[in-house]
Amino acid sequence: MFRSPSRRRRVFAIGAIIAAATIVVPTAANAAVNLALSDNGGAVRNTGDKTQEVRSAINGNAAKNVILLIGDGMGDSEITVARDYQYGAAGRFPGIDALPLTGQYTTYSLYKDGVNKGKPDYVPDSAATGSAWSTGTKTYDNAISVDINGKPQQTLIEIAKANGFKTGNVSTAEIQDATPAVEVAHVASRSCYGPDTVACGADALAAGGLGSISEQLIGTRPDVTLGGGSTTFEQTAKAGQWQGKTLFQQAKDRGYQVVTDAAGLKNVRAADQTSPVLGLFTPGNFPTRYAPTTATIGGADAAPVTCQPNPDRLSTDLSLASLTTKAISLLQNKQGGKGFFLQVEGASIDKRDHSADACGQIGETVDLDEAVQAALAFAKKDGNTLVIVTADHAHTSQIVDSTPPTSLSTALTTKDGTTLKVSYGTSAAGGSQQHTGTQLRIAGFGPGAANVVGLTDQTDNFFTMANALRLDRNTAALSNQARASVARGTVRAGDTVTVSAKRFTGDRQVSATVRPGAIDLGQKDVIDGALEFSFDAPTKAGSYSVTLTGAQSGHTETVTFSVR
């Protein structure tokens, strides 16, 4: 093929430019040399051209499993503060910074009512943001997986479960707190923790609602639930089938393995819909990794401190990384078939940021990173797992060189041996520092991770995960193939009548009614699509029917029997 001299010169010139560019990019060999940060190339992070690395990270296949890890309140500033302190300015988090595909997403919530109803509220809370990624629907602050009109929106755990996947929910917060709650409940107010909570209002079972977050959690029935918040489970149901029983008693009656310490969790060998695990290890939130530090006005001018271990921290067997590893081991399907969806939250980055506690938030970021490492280790070995790491909203801590005259600040000695000044400027001493409305980092590894690249919205994350698992989101239709049968078509008065059903996969509970007489048999939990009702036959001879109704799908199945 003929090429003009000018064409050849252009090709040569382009090649020379590429070659020159390659020369100045540090190689792996150069990276091994212990250069000072002040040396040419001494601060670079790339160790060569990353084109092939990025190409190999793009995987458009379906995922068998999805692990979502949330750092509550973990904005870019919080990541940087923790990295600078723990690993130095040129350091890396072994987990958070190891994910190959990254992007940014927007987090705004919506106004619930008034003249701005449906318009952006630029500084969101954890309830609205968590609802966004768990349901794909924007909502208002304080809402748990309901839209701005109060209509429940299906969550990833609910949808994944209906599609035959195992599910898990892990947090270092009370398990009723906003982030874990968005996967298992639907309430108008995030404070609706238990049956004693006045704020439940119309959501309370006694008011005809779906119940408190804790009560709905039991009914949603994830295979694995691990966190804090045992105090709420000591409350007593005020209405419904388990009225008068504590939530702990109810969970046990419904087949849960309830554990409250590391030894109990270690003894759990399996978790499924027949025997799901409910592990609640603290009355409230988990103690933090590092003991608290107190930021003060002018605090950054004082002698810098180093973060100290918290003597109240739980056993390492109950660290976030250990809980993540345990959850994965209980959820993974080693025999093939469907996989799992797991949400993991490092909760107290946010909580310690609210308290202007730099060491507290740093330690919780390190804890989350260790959980990310555990998830990545599994995903790399498995080869079919999507791992996503992100946050719900950003927070207020800032690295500021000068000491703000009216803001709280603290000085820390970092891994580099230099001073890091962290400031908090959105509340006075003793108040609660505020969230910020900035976009957040989102990073991924595995099948479907390319969908986090660029600028997306928090709601995109729902579709990224649901699509990676190829979930059918029309869960009501999944019960259309349900079938019911009666063990004996003709019985004597007082005999036991047993009605069985299977393939109610789009439902978590099914109710039953006997007619004539409209005898309510209550509800049963659906276990892998199946359930069974047993009752005494009516004393009057005649023909009867039993109608089963899916609580979530509304699908009905009717069987008949006769009493002679």
Structure tokens at 471: 């979930």
DSSP letter assigned to residue 452: G
What phi and psi values does residue 561 have, to the nearest 5 degrees? -150, 165
Give the pLDDT score at 404.
Answer: 79
pTM above 0.85, yes or no: yes
Dihedral (CA of 174, 232, 341, 552) sign: negative
Measured CA to CA, the distance from residue 125 to residue 436 in angstroms comes to 9
| pLDDT tens string 413-442 | 999 999 999 999 999 999 999 999 999 999
Residue in the structure block whose two tokens are 């609706």: 192
CB atoms within 10 A of CB 7: 10
What are the tokens at 450? Answer: 């390319």
CA distance 283 to 229: 5
Which residue numbers in the chain have pLDDT < 70?
Answer: 1-33
Between the alpha carbon of residue 25 and those of residues 28, 53, 54, 139, 167, the distances in Å are: 10, 15, 16, 46, 44
Q: Is 329 labeled as catalytic in the residue annotation?
A: no
Helix (H, G, I), strand (E, B) or coil at 17: helix
How many Cβ atoms from other residues are within 10 Å of residue 212's Cβ? 29
Collect all residues with Cβ–Cβ distance below 8 Å to 3 and sequence separation of at least 6: 11
232 contacts: CB under 8 Å, gap ≥ 6: 174, 176, 193, 194, 212, 214, 247
For 496-528, b where at least 16 C-beta lie within 10 A, e where not — what string? Answer: ebebbbbbbbbbbbbbbbbeeeeeebebbbbbe
Burial of 295 (0-12, 13-18, 19+ CB in 10 A): buried
- Alpha-carbon distance 187 to 205, whole Å? 11
Task: Give kind and range of the element (H or E) at residue 546.
Answer: strand 542-550
| Residues in contact with 266: Cβ distance below 8 Å, sequence separation at least 6, in sequence order | 317
Contact status, residue 388 vs residue 442, Cβ threshold 8 Å? yes
Query: How confident is the model over 448-460, as pLDDT tens digits?
Result: 999 999 999 999 9
Q: Is 246 annotated as a binding residue?
A: no
Q: Is 350 labeled as ligand-binding?
A: yes
Strand partners, 265: none
φ, ψ for residue 34, nearest 5 deg: -80, 80
Query: pLDDT value at position 12?
Result: 39
Q: Does residue 177 have a known ligand-binding role?
A: yes
* Phi, then psi, of 151 in degrees rounded to 5: -80, 130
Identify the helix (H) or strand (E) that includes residue 263: helix 262-266
Q: Is 392 annotated as a binding residue?
A: yes
Check residue 169 and give its pLDDT. 99
Q: How far apart are CA 220 and CA 158, in angstroms?
A: 7
Token digits for 298? Answer: 């002018």
Residues 550/524, Cβ–Cβ less than 8 Å: no
Give 100: exposed, middle or buried? Use CB within 10 Å, 0-12, 13-18, 19+: middle
Residue in 126, 189, 407, 553 annotated catalytic: 126
Instruction: Tokens for 435, please give them.
Output: 């969230």
DSSP annotation string for 194-247: STT-GGGGGGSGGGTSS--HHHHHHHH--SEEEEE-GGGGGSB--SSTTTTSBH
Beta carbons of 216 and 186 less than 8 angstroms apart? yes
Q: How far is 265 from 259, CA to CA, in rounded Å?
A: 6
- Residue 472: how many CB atoms within 10 A of its CB? 15
pLDDT of 321? 99
Give the Cα separation of 125 and 306 in Å (integer): 31
Is 179 one of the annotated binding-site residues?
Answer: yes
pLDDT value of residue 33: 63
CA distance 563 to 265: 48
Known binder of ligand: residue 472?
no
Secondary structure (3-state) at 151: coil
253 in a known ligand binding site: no
C-beta separation of 510 from 523 below 8 A: yes
Question: Of 389, 292, 94, whose CA–CA distance to 86 is shortest?
Answer: 94
pLDDT at 177: 98
Nearest alpha carbon to residue 227 among 192, 200, 193 = 193
Each residue's pLDDT tens digit, 209-226 = 999 999 999 999 999 999
Contact predicate 82/375, CB 8 Å: no
pLDDT at residue number 357: 97
Q: Give the span between the Cα atoms of 510 and 507, in whole angstroms.
A: 7
The CA R_g of the chain, rounded to the nearest whole Å, is 27
Question: 186, exposed or middle or buried, with CB in 10 Å at 0-12, 13-18, 19+?
Answer: buried
